[in-house]
Amino acid sequence: MTMNKTEIAQKFITMIPHSRALGMELTHVGEGEAHIEMPYDARFVGDPETGVISGGAVSALMDTCCGAAAMSHPSSPAGTATIDLRIDYMRAAQPGQTIRAKAECYHITRSVAFVRATAFDDDDANPVATANGTFTVEAS
Amino acid sequence: MARQKPEPMQVVKQRRDAALNALVQGVPYIQFLGIQFDRRGDELTALLPFDEKLIGNPMLPALHGGVTAAFLETTAVIGLSWASLWEDIEAGKFDAADLSAGHLPRLPKTIDFSVDYLRSGLPRDAYARARVNRSGRRYASVHVEAWQDRREKLFAQATGHFLMPSRDD
């Protein structure tokens, strides 16, 4: 009868028009954890000379992944909204490769969820970007 | 001798618009989001026309936080690039035909970007302006503000640091 958190999060992601527009796929959701992939797409290129994906598209991926991690936390009753999100860009993602984001909600209060995330391309040893954000905890 | 006669207005406008178009049209992601730039002299205002695919929360509905971040970051990168190229554009060092043919100036690279979400983005057009607070040879710091209906009622703001493209090419 009742859907569990994983199902709710999964359903929620596919219902977000912008996440769908960017081709995002939720590959894992745990208690306060989420993994989302975004396949390479020429429409999302930010640097036409090199074919590197735009920082803006990576931001959208990070925001979605962090939001999903916040919502999937056992202490989070319902939806969430971003309060603040900071992204550090370590290097350019390899053109042609899928970008995979992993987010973790490492602390939550009645009002605020604290989340961090890392994004990789095919090279697992060198992150493309990291993010740190705070999200609202909405009453159910 | 008296001062030089100013250039005809159309020549000046054409040169500035060609440079701005070349900068904006060349980036696929700007086209994907549908961002446009309105120019008044050297001042740029970014416009994000509303579209269904920009929605993040279909229940409210509200703009996706990622869209807001991307809109602000695009405004910052183009605003910074535009400001740093302005002198060259004015000096006529940019050949418009060459620019439109795809020989674009390299864009600044984002080092970090921090977005402050002040209120949820409504399902309608959004606007943004960037202010370059510091622009050195290698690094720059840019602040961006975004609003929808009222200029003074921001729905998001952001600060970012950027690595400037090397200018020896």
A85-116 pLDDT, tens digit per residue, is 999 999 999 999 999 999 999 999 999 999 99
**pLDDT (0 to 100) of residue B99:** 63
Indicate the DSSP class of residue A25.
Answer: E
Q: Alpha-carbon distance B46 to A100, whole Å? A: 29
Residue B61 has φ and ψ, to the nearest 5°, of -80, 160
How far is the alpha carbon of B7 from chain A, nearest alpha carbon, in Å? 33
As a whole number, mean pLDDT of residues B52-66 equals 91
Confidence of residue B103 (pLDDT cuts 50, 70, 90): low
Beta strands in A14-56 (DSSP E): 25-30, 33-38, 45-47, 52-53
Mean pLDDT of A41-60: 94
Query: Could you tell me the pLDDT band of residue B148, with boundaries at 50, 70 and 90?
Result: very high
Which class is domain B9-163? alpha beta
Contacts of B101 in chain A (CB under 8 A): none
Domain assignments of chain B as residue spans, ordered by start = 9-163
Examine the pLDDT at A2 and tell me if it is beyond 60. no
pLDDT at B30: 96
A64 touches A74 (CB < 8 A):
no
Distance CA B33, CA B5 (A): 42
Cα–Cα distance measured from residue A29 to residue A41, given in angstroms and rounded to the nearest whole number: 24
CB B29 within 8 A of CB A54: yes
Residues in chain B: 169
Report the C-alpha gap between A80 and B30 in whole angstroms: 27
pLDDT grade, residue A9 (50/70/90)?
low
pLDDT band of residue B2 (cuts 50, 70, 90) is confident
- pLDDT of residue A3 exceeding 70, the answer is no
Q: Is the pLDDT of residue A1 over 60?
A: no
For residues A71 and A12, the answer to whether their CB atoms sit within 8 Å is: yes
Q: Output DSSP code: residue A13.
A: H
How does residue B91 score in pLDDT terms, banded at 50, 70 and 90? Answer: confident
Q: What is the DSSP letter of B51?
A: -
Taking residues A10-32, report their average pLDDT.
Answer: 87
**Local confidence band at A14 (pLDDT 50, 70, 90 cut-offs):** confident
DSSP B27: -
B116 and A48 in contact by Cβ < 8 A?
no
The mean pLDDT value for B112-133 works out to: 97
- CA distance linking residue B133 with residue B159, whole number of Å: 10
Q: How far out from the chain centre does Cα A10 lie?
A: 13
| Amino acid found at A33 | E
* Ranges of each domain in chain A: 5-136
pLDDT at B131 over 70: yes
Predicted confidence (pLDDT) at residue B52 exceeds the cutoff of 60: yes
- Considering the four listed CATH numbers 3.10.129.10, 3.90.1300.10, 3.40.50.2300, 3.40.309.10, the one that applies to the domain covering A5-136 is 3.10.129.10
Q: What is the CA radius of gyration of chain A?
A: 15
List CB contacts (< 8 A) between B128 and chain A.
none
Kindly state the tokens that stand for A127: 């992150």
CA distances from B71 to A46, B15, B75, B78 (A): 12, 26, 6, 11
* Least confident among A126-135, B17-26, B102-111: B102-111
Query: Cβ of B84: how many Cβ atoms within 10 Å?
Result: 18
Q: Cα dist. B40→B43, B46, B65, B85, B150 in Å?
A: 5, 12, 29, 16, 19
What values do phi and psi take at B81, rounded to 5? -60, -45
For the record, the structure tokens of B136 come out as: 């050195």
Judging contacts by C-beta atoms under 8 Å, the chain A residues touching residue B77 are 46, 55
> Predicted confidence band at A33 (pLDDT cuts at 50, 70, 90)?
very high
Establish if B156 touches chain A: CB-CB under 8 angstroms: no
CB contact under 8 A, A88 and B66: no
B67 and A83 within 8 Å at the Cβ level: the answer is no
Q: Is the peptide bond before B8 cis (omega within 30 degrees of 0)?
A: no
**Tokens 């695009």 label which residue?**
B74
% pLDDT > 70, chain A: 92
When pLDDT is averaged across residues B48-73 and rounded to a whole number, the result is: 93
Nearest-Cα distance to chain B for A32, in Å, is: 19
Residues of A in contact with B110 (CB under 8 A): 55, 87, 89
- Of residues B82 and B26, more confidently modeled: B82
